[in-house]
Amino acid sequence: MNKYLFLLLGFLLLTGCTEKKAAPPKPNGTAKEIMVEDYFPQENKTYVYRGEGNEYAAFSEFFYQRTDSYLPSIVENGGTRILKIYKLTDEGIYQVYNRPEFYDEEIPPLAELEKEFNPIPLLIKPLQAEKTFNGFTIVQTNAELLLPIGEVKNVVIIEQQDEENKTIVRKYWAPGLGMVKQEFVSSEKNTEEFSVTSELEKIH
């Protein structure tokens, strides 16, 4: 299983008590009526993901106050602490900054980091099946999922297949929430299928 460590770390970076689980916001209309900005994460919230298949699959992500089109966050997965910055544009949602091993108490001003920005598309309009970007393909736009946080609808599913390594990465985006699930599946010939899954459990 160690042979998948490098692939898993890349997957998780481009991502790691019992309470009454909060119901997610109810989306209005159909997927065609929902704009890509409706899939942007909520600010000033901590997203907690339940994980299976790997010690880093469970993680939390705290989203700071949005500044113009930028939304900084801190991801903690038990192995590292990652500073991320997202950007919402007319075209879609991008990750523009990703720094693992970030342990400062305060995040730097965005102006100081801007020269290091490297936009990576995460979800691009139009939200239509077969739309491709950054190696991903939109495979569904109106899925329904039952997650630990509750039932979500109008979910956009994007998928990236690596034929050479026999792996698949899927990410699930829900309106009013952002990314609610991600999974990594390896199905190399003559080996048992191996998967790592992270699902949104609560928001507080």
* pLDDT per position as a tens digit, 138-176: 999 999 999 999 999 999 999 999 988 889 999 999 999
Q: What distance, in Å, lies between the first and last C-alpha atoms of the chain?
A: 34
What b/e string do you get for 132-142 counting C-beta neighbours within 10 Å, with b at 16 or more? ebeebebeebe
Whether the pLDDT of residue 60 is over 90: the answer is yes
Overall residue count recorded for the chain in this entry: 204
The total domain count for the chain is 1
Give CA 125 to chain center in angstroms. Answer: 17
CA distance 48 to 203: 6
CA distance 20 to 91: 36
* pLDDT per position as a tens digit, 114-140: 999 999 999 999 999 999 999 999 999
Q: Which domain holds residue 160?
A: 2-16+18-203
What's the predicted TM-score (pTM) here?
0.83
Neighbours of 200 (CB within 10 A): 26
**Residue (of 176, 196, 175) closest to 186 by Cα position:** 196
User: What average pLDDT does range 31-56 have in this prediction?
Assistant: 89
CA distance 56 to 58: 5
Quote the strand ranges of the chain, DSSP E.
45-52, 59-63, 70-76, 81-88, 92-99, 120-124, 132-133, 136-147, 150-162, 167-174, 178-186, 194-203
Instruction: Specify the CATH number for the domain of residue 185.
Output: 2.40.360
The pLDDT of residue 188 is: 76
The pLDDT of residue 5 is: 42
The pLDDT of residue 135 is: 96
Backbone angles phi, psi at 116, to 5 degrees: -100, 0
CA distance 47 to 199: 10
CA distance 105 to 189: 46
